[in-house]
């Protein structure tokens, strides 16, 4: 069974053909980094226009690379929520047009759930598991009994993990996106040069929720105050390495509490920041404690059409998708449970 996945929730246009939910036949992603680089962040209006220009090109390339035509596709899966509303509308309406023209089932996909499916392509993962999403838009801890039975147990109340990386990179004029740049520069830094405030001090106040705003602000505005060696020359790589270490420690600390509370010794980490080399190494240490740790391959950490098609296959097998009903579907920019500034107790 062939499913085409259409992903346009933010700033990458990505189309993929996936066979039986496991085999990625083709994956075409057209990045918008150049369009947003001058602003060092995603501009929603520009993102929408870029999707409009490239979505049909990416689709044709994905079909050509898979050596199949649209008639061979069994269903169309498309990200419908959450994301930038303009970007979502482009992808969703394009998918609706394809579904209507070729009379194909249309499968609306939750972007967050799709990220977790990314780890299933190269791993055999059993339910239940604890899920940690770390991306530019979200930081969340979840308990999964299945892809249709999950509970949000922790979320960001301000800056997400990836957002903190991007904002610090912007402050130091390093470029966009900030995550890969900081990860690379940190390789030459001393992770213990700066004792920035760790969010763990607020663990009783925030529980399993995340707050990276204070750490981000400390890195940007109060660098010298937190030097461990006042006589040591200030070095950008040291600042970034120290920041990155504290992010990894914060994520690990919260994740371990979630594992203890749920008594589930299995965790899946996904999202753009899951490609960070230090975060990956830090979490893999949990394997020594008998905890199963799963990451997607680095190429599947960021937004991609394969995760949309893969989850689409899983849902298509278990549910009926009435074309007329889903042609009326609207995009949603946010999920109610992911609303910021509200703590999960």
What pLDDT score was predicted for residue 75? 96
More confidently predicted of 318 and 343: 318
**Spatial separation of the C-alpha atoms in residues 322 and 131, rounded to whole Å:** 30
What pLDDT score was predicted for residue 203? 61
CATH 3.30.420.40 residue window(s) in the chain: 2-116+301-337, 127-295
More confidently predicted of 139 and 345: 139
- Average pLDDT value for residue range 320-339: 82
Any idea what DSSP says for residue 119? G
Q: Where does residue 237 rank: exposed (0-12), middle (13-18), buried (19+ CB within 10 A)?
A: middle
- Average pLDDT value for residue range 19-28: 98
pLDDT band at 300 (very low <50, low <70, confident <90, very high): very high
The string of pLDDT tens digits covering residues 88-99 is 999 999 999 999
What pLDDT score was predicted for residue 334? 85
The string of pLDDT tens digits covering residues 217-265 is 999 887 778 888 888 888 999 999 999 999 999 999 999 999 999 999 9
pLDDT at 201 over 70: no
Q: Can the peptide bond before residue 168 be classed as cis, meaning omega within 30 degrees of 0?
A: no
Q: Can the peptide bond before residue 177 be classed as cis, meaning omega within 30 degrees of 0?
A: yes
Q: Which residues contact 247 (CB under 8 A, 6 or more apart)?
A: 161, 164, 165, 212, 215, 279
pLDDT at 202 over 60: no
The CATH classification number of 127-295 equals 3.30.420.40
What pLDDT score was predicted for residue 283? 98
pLDDT above 90 covers a percentage of the chain that reads 78
- Average pLDDT value for residue range 29-34: 94
The string of pLDDT tens digits covering residues 47-58 is 999 999 999 999
What pLDDT score was predicted for residue 345? 63
pLDDT at 290 over 80: yes
* Dihedral pair phi/psi, residue 68, rounded to 5°: -135, 165
One CATH from 3.40.50.720, 3.40.50.980, 3.40.50.1980, 3.30.420.40 for 2-116+301-337: 3.30.420.40
**Spatial separation of the C-alpha atoms in residues 275 and 263, rounded to whole Å:** 26
Mean pLDDT of the chain: 93
**Spatial separation of the C-alpha atoms in residues 95 and 106, rounded to whole Å:** 8
* Dihedral pair phi/psi, residue 180, rounded to 5°: -65, -35
Global pTM reads 0.94
Stated length of the chain: 345
């Amino acid at each position: 069974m062939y499913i085409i996945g259409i992903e346009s929730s933010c700033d990458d246009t990505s189309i993929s053909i996936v066979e039986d939910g496991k085999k990625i036949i083709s994956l075409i992603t057209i990045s918008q980094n150049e369009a947003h680089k001058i602003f060092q962040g995603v501009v929603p209006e520009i993102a929408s226009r870029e999707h409009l220009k490239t979505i049909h090109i990416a689709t044709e390339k994905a079909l050509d690379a898979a050596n199949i035509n649209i008639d061979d596709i069994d269903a169309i899966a498309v990200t419908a929520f959450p994301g930038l509303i303009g970007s979502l509308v482009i992808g969703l309406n394009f998918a609706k047009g394809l579904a209507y023209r070729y009379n194909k089932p249309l499968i609306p996909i939750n972007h967050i759930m799709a990220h977790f499916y990314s780890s299933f392509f190269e791993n055999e993962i059993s339910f239940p598991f604890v899920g940690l999403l770390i991306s530019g838009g979200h930081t969340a801890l979840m308990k999964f009994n299945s892809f249709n039975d999950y509970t949000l147990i922790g979320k960001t109340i301000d800056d997400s993990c990836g957002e903190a990386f991007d904002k610090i990179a912007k402050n130091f004029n390093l470029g966009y996106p900030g995550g890969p740049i900081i990860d690379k520069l940190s390789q030459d830094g001393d992770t213990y040069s700066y004792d920035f405030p760790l969010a763990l001090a607020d663990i009783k106040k925030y529980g399993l929720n995340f707050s990276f705003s204070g750490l981000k602000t400390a890195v940007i505005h109060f660098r010298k105050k937190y030097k461990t060696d006042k006589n040591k020359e200030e070095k950008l790589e040291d600042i970034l390495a120290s920041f990155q270490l504290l992010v990894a420690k914060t994520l690990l600390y919260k994740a371990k509490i979630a594992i203890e509370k749920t008594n589930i010794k299995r965790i899946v980490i996904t999202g753009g920041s899951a490609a960070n080399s230090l975060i990956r190494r830090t979490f893999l240490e949990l394997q020594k404690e008998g905890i199963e740790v799963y990451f997607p391959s680095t190429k599947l950490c960021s937004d991609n059409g394969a995760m949309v098609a893969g989850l689409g296959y899983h849902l298509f097998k278990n549910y009926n998708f009435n074309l007329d009903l889903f042609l009326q579907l609207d995009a949603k920019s946010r999920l109610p449970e992911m609303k910021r500034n509200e703590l999960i107790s």
